[in-house]
Amino acid sequence: MDMPLSDTLAQDNAPQTADTRPLAIEARGLVKEFAGTRAVDGVDLSVPEGAIYGILGPNGAGKTTTIRMLLGIIDPDDGVRRIFGHDEPHEIAKLIGYLPEERGLYPAMKAYEAIGFMGALRGLPLEEGKARGRELLERHDLGHAADKQIRQLSKGMAQTVQLLGTLVHRPKLVVLDEPFSGLDAINQGKLERMIRELADNGTTVIFSTHVIHHAERLCEGVAIIAGGKVPYAGSVEAARDRIPAQVRLETRETDGRWRSALPDDARREGDFWYFSLPESGIETLLRALIEGEAGIQSLSIERAGLHDAFVHIAGEAAARALEADNAAENN
What region, left, alpha or beta, does residue 60 occupy, with left being phi > 0 and alpha being psi -120 to 50 degrees?
Answer: left
Alpha helices for the chain (secondary structure H): 5-12, 63-71, 111-120, 126-139, 155-167, 185-200, 212-218, 236-240, 282-291, 306-314, 316-330
Amino acid (one-letter) located at 286:
L
pLDDT per residue of the chain (331 residues) written in tens, 0 to 9: 334 444 433 334 433 445 688 999 999 999 999 998 999 999 999 999 999 999 999 998 999 999 999 999 999 999 999 999 999 998 999 999 999 988 788 999 999 999 999 999 999 999 999 999 999 999 999 999 999 999 999 888 998 999 999 999 999 999 999 999 888 888 889 999 999 999 999 999 999 999 899 999 999 999 999 999 999 999 999 999 888 888 999 999 999 999 998 988 999 999 999 998 887 778 989 999 999 999 999 999 988 899 999 999 999 999 899 888 888 877 7
Q: What strands lie across the sheet with 246-251, from one edge to the other?
A: 267-269, 272-276, 246-251, 296-302
Q: What is the pTM assigned to this prediction? A: 0.82
HEC per residue, 151-179: HHCCHHHHHHHHHHHHHCCCCCEEEEECC
In single-letter form, the type of residue at position 171 comes to P
- 6-36: pLDDT as tens digits: 443 333 443 344 568 899 999 999 999 999 8
pLDDT at 13: 41
For the stretch 271-289, pLDDT in tens is 999 998 887 778 989 999 9
CATH class of 5-240: alpha beta
Closest CA to 226 of 42, 28, 25: 42
Domain spans of the chain, in order of start: 5-240, 246-302
Task: From 173, 18, 169, select the one nearest 81 (Cα to Cα).
Answer: 173
